[in-house]
């Protein structure tokens, strides 16, 4: 299957570079381009790409608001957003993931790594580096004690599912979950699938955010 990628960036030269890179991959093609966030939202609705490469700082509507609108649209539930920016500030990371982004990369990422990232988020996985995870934990440790919707939603989970969610938030893959909990990979995958369904999460990035907000993951854990 060929992955269809929408490129959203206000700089034409950068869009052209990404287009060449995407089209050079045997398993990808450029679905379209957008010069700002509003155009990205419209293009996502029209083209239904597998992945949107989304810049953050754009005119008319920034990438975070565009991501929020795309991810809030039920008809675009299969569309994944991968944030690409020249800025690495923690507030950008936090807001992008809260908006529903499946991953976050800096624009100086190596071409091969960017292509790998597109494949990762298209497969429903999150793309959170250890540095990004650390930044998120630091962000939450400065917030008030967790309460409200995030905690209430976790009441639906069994004790085992809470344990699995905690490990997912620490970056464990299904195979690593299976090894750590001494269960089969299929059982680990089933637990994760049940958690997705119960929490209404799009991908692992959202599971990570819910775990942080509910206080299941703490600095040093």
b vs e for 45-77, b when ≥16 Cβ sit within 10 Å of the residue's Cβ? Answer: eeeebbbbbbbbebeebbbbbbbbbbbeeeebe
Answering whether pTM is above 0.75, one says no
Tell me, yes or no, whether 155 and 92 share the same domain: no
Q: Domain range spanning residue 184?
A: 138-213
> Quick one: pLDDT band at residue 145, thresholds 50, 70, 90?
very low
121 and 142 together in one domain: no
Same domain, 87 and 182: no
- What is the domain-level CATH number for residue 148? 1.10.10.10
| Tokens 């490990």 belong to residue | 167
Read off the pLDDT of residues 59-118 as tens digits, 9 standing for 90 and up.
Answer: 999 999 999 999 999 999 899 999 987 765 556 777 887 788 888 888 888 899 899 989
Render pLDDT for 180-203 as a digit per residue (tens, 0 to 9): 999 998 999 899 889 988 888 777
* Residues belonging to the chain: 221
Same domain, 81 and 108: yes
pLDDT in tens, 1-28: 899 999 999 999 999 999 999 999 999 9
Q: For residues 126-134, give the mean pLDDT.
A: 59
Asked if 16 and 63 touch (Cβ cutoff 8 Å), the reply is no
Do 142 and 168 lie in one domain? The reply is yes
Residue 219 lies in a domain: no
Residue 93 and residue 117 share a domain: yes
- Residues ≥6 apart with Cβ < 8 Å to 211: 165, 166, 168, 169, 217
- Per DSSP bridges, beta strands 28-34 and 80-85 are unpaired
The residue among 142 and 38 whose pLDDT is bigger is 38
Last residue of a domain, one of 101, 127, 153: 127
Taking the mean position of all CA atoms in its chain, how far away is CA 183? 27
- Averaged pLDDT score across all residues of the chain: 84
């Amino acid at each position: 299957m060929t992955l269809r990628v929408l490129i959203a960036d206000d700089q034409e030269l950068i869009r052209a570079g990404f287009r060449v890179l995407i089209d050079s991959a045997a398993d990808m093609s450029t679905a379209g381009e957008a010069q700002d966030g509003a155009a990205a939202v419209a293009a996502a609705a029209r083209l239904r790409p597998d992945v949107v490469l989304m810049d953050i700082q754009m005119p008319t509507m920034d990438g975070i608001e565009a991501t929020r609108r795309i991810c809030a649209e039920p008809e675009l539930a299969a569309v994944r957003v991968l944030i690409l920016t020249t800025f690495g500030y923690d507030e950008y990371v936090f807001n992008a993931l809260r908006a529903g982004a499946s991953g976050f990369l800096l624009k100086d990422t190596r071409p091969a790594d960017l292509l790998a990232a597109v494949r990762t988020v298209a497969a429903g996985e999150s793309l959170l580096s250890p540095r990004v995870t650390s930044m998120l934990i630091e962000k939450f440790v400065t917030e008030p004690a967790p309460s409200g919707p995030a905690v209430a939603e976790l009441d639906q989970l069994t004790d085992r599912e809470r344990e699995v969610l905690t490990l997912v938030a620490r970056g464990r893959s299904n195979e690593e979950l299976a090894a750590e909990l001494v269960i089969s990979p299929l059982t680990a995958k089933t637990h994760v699938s049940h958690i997705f369904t119960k929490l209404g999460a799009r991908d692992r990035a959202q599971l990570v955010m819910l775990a942080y907000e509910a206080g299941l993951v703490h600095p040093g854990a």
